[in-house]
Amino acid sequence: MSAVLPPVVSVHLPSDWAASGLVDDVRRGLGSRPLRLPPKWLYDDEGSRLFDEITRLEEYYPTEAERAILRLHADAIVAASDATTLVELGSGTSDKTRLLLDAFTRAGRLRTFVPVDVSEQTLRDAADEVAAEYPGVRVEALVGDFTLHLGHLPTGGPKMVAFLGGTIGNLYVEERAAFLGALADSLEAGDWLLLGTDLVKSTDRLVAAYDDASGVTEAFVTNCLHVLNRELGADFDVEAFTYVAFWDPAMERMDLRLRADMPQTVTVPGADLTVDLAGGEEIRVEISTKFRPGTLRSELGEAGFEVVEIFTDPPGDFALTLARLT
């Protein structure tokens, strides 16, 4: 029986990363038009709790659809590649990834698992659990931002990078191109990418998934104002904003915004910023792009990845795309 190998955790974020990053993002996003806030600031403790609740809503299908694909096709995904190292970007608790880890274990090919996340404590806890559950596997956790620290991914041996949850859809077109290009630069020819993406479907289903009847998503998106009030001493009147979720057919994405119900002036002392909002003016908080197979092949191809296979759940709501760097 293989011995449990103690996980190794490398930290690539400075201790003030969150505080300084929040200030920079608020100055950039609320200091010019159109107003916007990066979605990463949705995920404080309360935001993470609310998002976990969202994933359990009847209207919100992506999480379980992706899990269904992994249940059905994890063995085929592993068999189609020659990877011996699995990297997971934005790993969190690595919950769904256990299905991939199990498939790699059944194939007898997993040597190293590299979870990457900005939350050090969550990563350490998950690394301990994975190391205990998969004896003989080296767990090399990396505390870092997947948009900044791809250069720290391990080298040597064929790798599979898993980027699950449809997170790439939260990036704008130019951001996706930059991310995929940087990822390609950090990998070697023959390495693999397993990319989770939500697919284009009826507008009614999409809007319902992001504007649920119980108001959990509204609370989740609005929570970013509570974060600014708490962390930067801002004086947002949270009740003076309306949550707006709409489908943008031209860009094929959900657009989640907060609309000022009346003209208001907001001060953000921690960012040395004053924001004058007109009545009806919106703050864009998050987008969630939906994809078509042709779009996936095109965007991945431009970054040097060749699509090997696209796996979907039985209803065809979500996709896991396996691609190889040429």
Tens of pLDDT along 79-100? 999 999 999 998 887 888 999 9
Cα separation of 67 and 200, whole Å? 18
For 41-66, how does the pLDDT look when each residue is reduced to its tens digit (9 = 90+)?
A: 888 889 889 998 999 999 999 999 99
Longest CA–CA separation in the chain, Å: 67
Is 70 exceeded by the pLDDT of residue 128?
A: yes
For residue 163, what is the enclosing H or E element? strand 159-163
Band the pLDDT of 1: cuts 50, 70, 90: low
**Residue 200 CA to chain centroid, in angstroms?**
18
**pLDDT > 90: what percent of the chain?**
82
pLDDT at 118: 84
10 Å CB burial of residue 48 (0-12, 13-18, 19+) is middle
Is 80 exceeded by the pLDDT of residue 6?
A: yes
To which residue do tokens 């990845």 refer?
Answer: 305
pLDDT at 288: 97
Is 90 exceeded by the pLDDT of residue 21?
A: no
Q: Which domains does the chain have, with CATH numbers?
A: 33-58+211-289 (no CATH), 69-199+292-325 (3.40.50.150)
pLDDT at 12: 87
Task: Supply the Cα-derived Rg of the chain in whole angstroms.
Answer: 20
pLDDT at 293: 96
pLDDT at 122: 86
pLDDT at 235: 97
Across the chain, mean pLDDT equals: 94
In order of 65, 210, 255, the CA distances from 193 in angstroms are 19, 27, 27
User: What is the value of pTM for the model shown?
Assistant: 0.94
